[in-house]
Structure 1
Amino acid sequence: MKRTISLVLACLSLTNAYSQSKPDWENPEVFAINKEKTRSSLLPYASEALAIKNEYKSSPYYQSLNGKWQFHWFGKIADVPDEFFKEEFNASSWTTMPVPGNWEFNGFGIPIYVNTGFGFSSSPPFINREDSPTGAYRKQFNIPENWNGRKVFLHFEGGTNSMYVWINGKKVGYTENSKSPAEFDITPYLKKGSNLLACEVHKFSDGSYLEDQDMWRLGGINRSVYLYATDQTRILDFFAHPDLDAQYKNGLFSSSVKIQNYGNAATAQMVEVSILDKQGKKVFSQQKPINLAAQAVDSLVFEGTVKTPLKWTAETPNLYTMLVTLKDGQKKVIESTSHRIGFRKVEIKDGQVLINGKRVLFKGVNLHEFNTQTGQVVDSVVMLRNIQLFKELNINAVRTSHYPQQPLWYRLCDEYGIYLVDEANLESHGLGYGPNNVSNFPEWKAAHMDRIMRLIERDKNHASVIFWSLGNEASNGKAFFDMYDWAKARDKSRPVQYEQAYQRDRNTDIICHMYPSWGSMVRDAAKDLGKPYIMCEYAHAMGNSMGNFQDYWDLMRTSKNMQGGFIWEWYNHGFKTKDEQGREYWAYGGDLNGFNKPNDGNFCMDGIVTPDQQYMPHTHIVKKVYQNILFEAKDLANGVVTVINDFKFTPISTQEYGFKWVLLKNGTNVAEGNFEVAIAADSRKEVTLKLPKLAFEAGVEYYLQVYAHRRTATKFLPVGFEVAKGEFAFTNNNYFAEVAKNANQTKIEKKETQQKYSFTANGITYEFGKDNRALTDIKGASKQLIAKMPKLNFWRAPTDNDFGSQAQYNLRVWETASISQKVSFKSIDEKADAITLNYEFQPQGVAAKVEVAYTINSDGSLTVNTHYKALTDDLPEMMRLGMNMELPKEYNNFTWYGRGPWENYVDRHQDAFISVWSGKVGEQVFPYYRPQEAGNKTDVRWFTLTDSEGNGLQIKGAQPLSVSATNYRIEDWDPGTTKKQQHPSDIIPSDRVILNVDLFQRGVGGLDSWGSKPLDKYLFRGKEYQYSYTMSVIRKGSNQNSK
């Protein structure tokens, strides 16, 4: 998945004699023995009615083999008994294994997570024979009586790295390629009554060098297995082309249909092809005779026009059923099959991808097959939940990273509307990208070709598949040019992409960079690149991340060629487990007994949803940025807003969508209303809202928030579901202007000793040291208010992106500066209504000084003014600038006027709107899977922390603040200069409220997690900063002024 700097040097000396003497599983020229060619996912049915429904279980010619199989696990291939596959072998002591199922989630072996590498030392084509987990399977089955005289096929949907197959003790064949189907003709091996299927499944083989994807390495048959039977003459395959004419109006349909005669006599039969709409009405039908010689295969071509069909797009997933029926001379159905198809046209014109003539933006995500409970065994419930979340988050495209996924996934994407980039099961990342990659070696070429062929042949009839991808991070050797040429010749209706071709080589139709630098993107956005630019991976979502996501899309919308990308990635790949104390946590690489195995730690925790398919904080920014209804402020003073329909094929109708506006004054709703607007697809319209007259006096600000919601339910979105939102500040806002002070001013009482000052105003006493201490105590609240006085702070617990950019080293001076500071009392200024004490802080380890002025006001409040000044140009950027303090745990009611309700940062805040928000302190932190910085709020004007009786603390900013209130100290989340195998369950929450009151905090970043910093505008390198806030004690029953 991710780009790595260091390359693994491989020993790649091979000879022709080698292939004759080595085992199949260490021979790159052997990857399929007696294996059928891949074809579309089709099943024979006894009638057209059953074929139209296309429910496998309803076919009399289908038998599932899923369920419990006899099983024995071996630590290495050499330990497998020589004759376990024979009928007479005694397997009574064996256990059982579910099929589909991963060994590691059923008590056998250790799950290994690596980003790049193979789970064993690299020396292609060899594996580590001493650590070569192998599963031996046995399954009894019976052939139905009505299958007599028919051909019988054994079909594995995938899920085996390499595997031998036996039937009744006789060797049937061998397969590699864990993510494409393996099908065998087992007719010659069958007998009446009970039959024995035996499989030897290897976790590793030479094929592992082509399957070095960033994922958990698991063993087992993890997709469905079934039998099916065909007549001696059968529908072998078809390739449908439901195209559109040049005006994108009428359908131009053509299809080749391949018929095979297995028999020893010639046949004369009829083939009928029909297209049915969703009501079952035929909109196209043709039949043609076919005469086949014995043991022959032949093809027929059907073609014609379908007038004004309903078009397929991700927005409008209109499908038709293509029905293919084989009949005998008496017009009796021999067998019938079907596939759902969609009329649509994918083109590249003028450097842009067009769907049905429209330039589409691909709001995509990368998806691995994953189930937090079962590993890589994914069922329909998990798939449908993913599609529901895609629809909620406005995701319209998925890259099947980095392999073909289950056939059911494609059917669901066809039905519900998701664009698919379908990727071959091919990644040799751990071998590097240079001339020594196996893609350059002749003995590996056929294995490369096999993977693109099997991808395309299986999925060629799916409307949702719009691009083919040759693979991922596998260099760009000679094999990839041949793969590209074959794909373009086989399917002229779809573009082909390959990231490793970059902008340099001919074997990609799309510039599909991964993680381009921001500078290169800015340069490319200004050019006419001649090809579409769609990032195959971007916005690496590891840990507390997804910063600058709005910036990505603001830039792409200015570009001719840029049309979106695919976030890395969808899931955080963690498995729920318990530690020795019974505490639950999400396991990542190195957990689950894998600490001494190759592992890449928490690099698998890099998704936008949780392992169990729930939202996390940065999920919300995806929904906001990807939304299909946009808002712009046209003339706020007069209530004029532009509503933009970013759907390319779907109008916004008043029947389907409703709109609401809310006007907030200082965070409080003062007016609201509903409005309607109908907008054609890919268009915009101005609306005028009936806003009240606004008075922009000092200390007042207004925000307008606009929302769109569903008025009608869809399969996945209920009535009222919020689909889009926008927020606008009025230009005349004057919130931070000086306002008149309260009338109830009191005299400030001053006491002084040799060591300290003491000041009392309005019943609140502040104590200050004269030498090496500043504010030392606050008294006068009903009970202790501040358990640890405010202290200058420049440091945060490094995020995963911080670790990637080496901030844990390069910026660590700011931790020292936060811990150790020399304090000097400078002066005192006394006025009738305020007394100011001036201190200078010298943070240790950095050439800087900080002047802090504490002003005791006559109303009992304390204003803290901080002035930072660097004394050199050589200081690294700060993690943050602010103050850290601690309150007793009972002050756990947190209310703030700023952005919320979830955490937000300077480069990830557009999804969090300005308002007055409230919650418990303990609710403010998302438990990132490796503990790190969390819980921040930006643009905070004021906030309060109170106990159950309403007593507590209020802080108001003289400018927007960055604030967090949690039960975790920075050192709880900071592992030091190297990451540790640490989880949220390892950290005990503090019995205090840990409060950070900052001017700023560095952005979390969002380009990648192995080198890039946040964008420059979200870094803080200034030589001088100043900010101020005022602290007030809240007493029970007081009417605290929030401004």
Structure 2
Amino acid sequence: FVYNKREFNIIDGKNTSKYPSGSFTYTVPFDFFHYSGILRPVNLLIRPRTFVDEYKIDTNSKGEFNYTFTVDGEDRKKVRGTVKVKDEDGNTVFESKELSGSGQVEQAKLWFPRGLGSPYLYTIEAELRDSSGDRIDVFRETFGFRSITWDESKVYINGKPLYCMGVGWHEESPIRGRSFDRVMMAKDLSLFDWLGINCFRTSHYPYAEETMREADRRGLAVIVEVPSVSPSKFIKKSQAIHASLLKEMITRDYNRPSVIMWSVSNEPFAFGSYKGGREYFAPLIDLMHKLDSTRPVTLVHGQTRYWNDYLSDLIDVICINRYYGWYIDMGVSPDQIASDLYYDISMWREKFKKPIMITEYGAEMIPGVLAEPSLAFSTQYQQEVFEGNHKALDRLRKEGKITGEMPWVFADFMTYMSTTRVGGNHKGLFTRDRQPKEVAYMMKKRYDALHAEMDG
């Protein structure tokens, strides 16, 4: 959420405010620059008088599916519809005269994220004809056959355990800021391919529809996150807005095979002595389960600890951000970082017995800063922090205590000005203009080795 904080000093007589008349301060509780204006494409849709308005599809790994097309317009009760499913070669593998129904594709090819199989996509097509037999509308969309299940330790795609080799990300770059840029999207996703990434989180807002389509096509598993960052004031008005945003998010991306999980918030102050968090989030998480029972719901913990958490019993998968060596115990050795992270996550696992992902870890590095022995913001120190985290992650993974990992962040990004931010956040594997840092090569080597291990 974005909070506007307007401050006025209105008294009788002379205005004593140090700010010019009409000015105000703008504060936000998150660590990225929000920019302004229109950030996504705006399109004018020219529709016929009667048209396909929405559709919903549920699939599984047996090739079975349920679908519903909603028709709107003045003659919606008079039109006749035909629904077809086509494979990637354009062959029709299913056909029906009903706009809502169920079916099955024999020997269906399944959608898998990278490393588990191919991301095969089918196309579903709904055609409307009027009483004269003239075609008045056609709706087409791609989808995939896949199932998502989870138990107390893992998430499965079509019965295969998924280990998320991911990254945190921002749809942000120089020149265009957060305005959607197709060229930058293609560049970033090509670098994902190079790194061996199979998963990402839409931190901290749903990403552009074009990005989600590419995730479907490229076989990237996605955790979609609602724009809720570090909430701390749990009031009814915010809860109502939050619920509305969740409905919009799930409605938009429900049919995407790449979406494997929904995130209700990033790093909320809902733990320990912070009051009202459970009463605020419990109805929202319940709403998410009702809107979509086929995918797990998560919440990304920040400062929450296993011993003061009061939300994790409500969610299906636990996501944790941890910065040992940076925000916690800066300057310690890689071995100490490994020990701290291993103990921390082991305690979460012992208490809750649910799948756990590490969704943020890392340290900042400003290009050109070199130091031996290492110092904060140097190339060497960022590498040492990654080294320590990887030692712990390897041990946790081999013991079945985690089901995924994501360093923060893919590329440096702009933030609001502060004494702790020198031209933005520099935790990236890449600079803001997408030039690799040393840790980018570390991550490529790591993920290549993990893919080889899991393939073997």
- TM-score bucket (shorter structure): 0.7 to 0.9
Report SS of the residue matched to 2:109.
Answer: coil
The structure, 1 or 2, with the larger RCO (C-alpha pairs under 8 Å, 6+ apart) is: 2
Q: 1:280 aligns with which of 87, 90, 106?
A: 90
Partner of 1:604: 425
Instruction: Tell me the distance in 1 between the aligned counterparts of 2:419 and 2:47.
Output: 46
Partner of 1:235: 52
Instruction: Tell me the distance in 1 between the aligned counterparts of 2:52 and 2:409.
Output: 39
Residues 278 and 339 of structure 1: is their aligned pair in 2 closer, same or farther, counting only changes over 3 Å?
same
Amino acid at match of 1:267: K
1:748-774 superposed Cα distances (whole Å, 9 cap, x missing partner): xxxxxxxxxxxxxxxxxxxxxxxxxxx
Q: Does the 8 Å contact 1:470/1:496 carry over to 2?
A: yes
Report SS of the residue matched to 1:557.
Answer: helix
Q: Does the 8 Å contact 1:323/1:336 carry over to 2?
A: yes
Q: Does the 8 Å contact 1:448/1:479 carry over to 2?
A: no
Q: Does the 8 Å contact 1:426/1:448 carry over to 2?
A: yes
Instruction: Tell me the distance in 1 between the aligned counterparts of 2:59 and 2:42.
Output: 31
Partner of 2:228: 426
Q: After the TM superposition, which residues 206-605 of structure 1 pair with which residues of structure 2 at under 5 Å, given as runs?
A: 212-244=29-61, 250-261=62-73, 263=74, 267-288=77-98, 301-315=100-114, 316-427=118-229, 429=230, 432=232, 437=233, 439=234, 441-476=235-270, 477=277, 478-500=279-301, 504-505=310-311, 506-515=313-322, 517-521=340-344, 523-524=346-347, 527=350, 529-542=352-365, 543=377, 544=379, 545=382, 546-573=386-413, 590=417, 600-602=420-422, 604-605=425-426
Q: Does the 8 Å contact 2:125/2:139 carry over to 1?
A: yes
Residues 482 and 526 of structure 1: is their aligned pair in 2 closer, same or farther, counting only changes over 3 Å?
closer
Instruction: Tell me the distance in 2 between the aligned counterparts of 1:627 and 1:481.
Output: 39
Amino acid at match of 1:313: F
Larger strand percent: 1
Compute the RMSD of aligned alpha carbons: 2.8
Amino acid at match of 2:97: Q
Residues 266 and 353 of structure 1: is their aligned pair in 2 closer, same or farther, counting only changes over 3 Å?
closer
1:889-923 superposed Cα distances (whole Å, 9 cap, x missing partner): xxxxxxxxxxxxxxxxxxxxxxxxxxxxxxxxxxx
Residues 483 and 522 of structure 1: is their aligned pair in 2 closer, same or farther, counting only changes over 3 Å?
closer
C-alpha deviation, 1:557, in angstroms: 2.2
Instruction: Tell me the distance in 1 between the aligned counterparts of 2:342 and 2:396.
Output: 13
Report SS of the residue matched to 1:498.
Answer: strand
Q: Does the 8 Å contact 1:525/1:559 carry over to 2?
A: no
Instruction: Tell me the distance in 2 between the aligned counterparts of 1:475 and 1:526.
Output: 21
1:697-744 superposed Cα distances (whole Å, 9 cap, x missing partner): xxxxxxxxxxxxxxxxxxxxxxxxxxxxxxxxxxxxxxxxxxxxxxxx
Q: Does the 8 Å contact 1:525/1:561 carry over to 2?
A: no
Q: Does the 8 Å contact 2:205/2:226 carry over to 1?
A: yes
Partner of 1:627: 448
Higher-Rg member (1/2): 1
C-alpha deviation, 1:286, in angstroms: 1.3
Q: Does the 8 Å contact 2:79/2:129 carry over to 1?
A: yes
Partner of 1:974: none
1:393-435 superposed Cα distances (whole Å, 9 cap, x missing partner): 11111101000111100011111111111011122x2x64xxx
Instruction: Tell me the distance in 2 between the aligned counterparts of 1:324 and 1:362.
Output: 35
C-alpha deviation, 1:369, in angstroms: 1.0
Residues 131 and 600 of structure 1: is their aligned pair in 2 closer, same or farther, counting only changes over 3 Å?
farther
Following superposition, which runs of at least 4 residues in structure 1 exceed 6 angstroms of deviation?
none
Q: After the TM superposition, which residues 63-82 of structure 1 pair with which residues of structure 2 at under 5 Å, given as runs?
A: none
Q: Does the 8 Å contact 2:341/2:389 carry over to 1?
A: no
Q: After the TM superposition, which residues 98-177 of structure 1 pair with which residues of structure 2 at under 5 Å, given as runs?
A: 130-131=22-23
Q: Does the 8 Å contact 1:572/1:610 carry over to 2?
A: yes
Instruction: Tell me the distance in 2 between the aligned counterparts of 1:541 and 1:320.
Output: 42
Amino acid at match of 2:129: K
Residues 333 and 213 of structure 1: is their aligned pair in 2 closer, same or farther, counting only changes over 3 Å?
farther
The alignment covers a number of residue pairs equal to: 395
C-alpha deviation, 1:626, in angstroms: 1.4
TM-score by length of 2: 0.79
Q: Does the 8 Å contact 2:52/2:70 carry over to 1?
A: yes
Amino acid at match of 1:377: S
Residues 310 and 132 of structure 1: is their aligned pair in 2 closer, same or farther, counting only changes over 3 Å?
farther
Residues 446 and 626 of structure 1: is their aligned pair in 2 closer, same or farther, counting only changes over 3 Å?
same
Residues 312 and 272 of structure 1: is their aligned pair in 2 closer, same or farther, counting only changes over 3 Å?
same
Report SS of the residue matched to 1:267.
Answer: coil
Instruction: Tell me the distance in 1 between the aligned counterparts of 2:43 and 2:243.
Output: 26
1:29-62 superposed Cα distances (whole Å, 9 cap, x missing partner): xxxxxxxxxxxxxxxxxxxxxxxxxxxxxxxxxx
C-alpha deviation, 1:504, in angstroms: 3.9
1:89-129 superposed Cα distances (whole Å, 9 cap, x missing partner): xxxxxxxxxxxxxxxxxxxxxxxxxxxx9685799xxxx99
Instruction: Tell me the distance in 2 between the aligned counterparts of 1:122 and 1:442.
Output: 23
Name the % identity: 24
Partner of 1:40: none
1:593-621 superposed Cα distances (whole Å, 9 cap, x missing partner): xxxxx564236111111111121111111
TM-score by length of 1: 0.36
Q: After the TM superposition, which residues 702-717 of structure 1 pair with which residues of structure 2 at under 5 Å, given as runs?
A: none
Instruction: Tell me the distance in 2 between the aligned counterparts of 1:485 and 1:222.
Output: 31
1:852-895 superposed Cα distances (whole Å, 9 cap, x missing partner): xxxxxxxxxxxxxxxxxxxxxxxxxxxxxxxxxxxxxxxxxxxx
C-alpha deviation, 1:552, in angstroms: 3.2
C-alpha deviation, 1:239, in angstroms: 1.1
Residues 324 and 552 of structure 1: is their aligned pair in 2 closer, same or farther, counting only changes over 3 Å?
farther
Residues 236 and 599 of structure 1: is their aligned pair in 2 closer, same or farther, counting only changes over 3 Å?
farther
Amino acid at match of 1:493: T
Larger helix percent: 2
Instruction: Tell me the distance in 2 between the aligned counterparts of 1:489 and 1:417.
Output: 27
Amino acid at match of 1:490: L
1:457-481 superposed Cα distances (whole Å, 9 cap, x missing partner): 1111111111111121234433322
Instruction: Tell me the distance in 2 between the aligned counterparts of 1:540 and 1:469.
Output: 24
Q: Does the 8 Å contact 2:146/2:158 carry over to 1?
A: yes
Q: Does the 8 Å contact 2:342/2:396 carry over to 1?
A: no
Residues 389 and 570 of structure 1: is their aligned pair in 2 closer, same or farther, counting only changes over 3 Å?
same
Q: After the TM superposition, which residues 756-775 of structure 1 pair with which residues of structure 2 at under 5 Å, given as runs?
A: none
Q: After the TM superposition, which residues 637-786 of structure 1 pair with which residues of structure 2 at under 5 Å, given as runs?
A: 645-647=453-455, 683=456
Q: Does the 8 Å contact 2:362/2:427 carry over to 1?
A: no
Amino acid at match of 2:66: S
Residues 279 and 604 of structure 1: is their aligned pair in 2 closer, same or farther, counting only changes over 3 Å?
same
Report SS of the residue matched to 1:471.
Answer: strand
Amino acid at match of 2:155: V
Report SS of the residue matched to 2:290.
Answer: helix
Q: Does the 8 Å contact 2:243/2:284 carry over to 1?
A: yes
Q: Does the 8 Å contact 2:349/2:401 carry over to 1?
A: no
Q: Does the 8 Å contact 2:85/2:92 carry over to 1?
A: yes
Instruction: Tell me the distance in 2 between the aligned counterparts of 1:122 and 1:398.
Output: 39
Amino acid at match of 1:494: R
Q: Does the 8 Å contact 2:168/2:408 carry over to 1?
A: yes
Instruction: Tell me the distance in 1 between the aligned counterparts of 2:420 and 2:353.
Output: 38
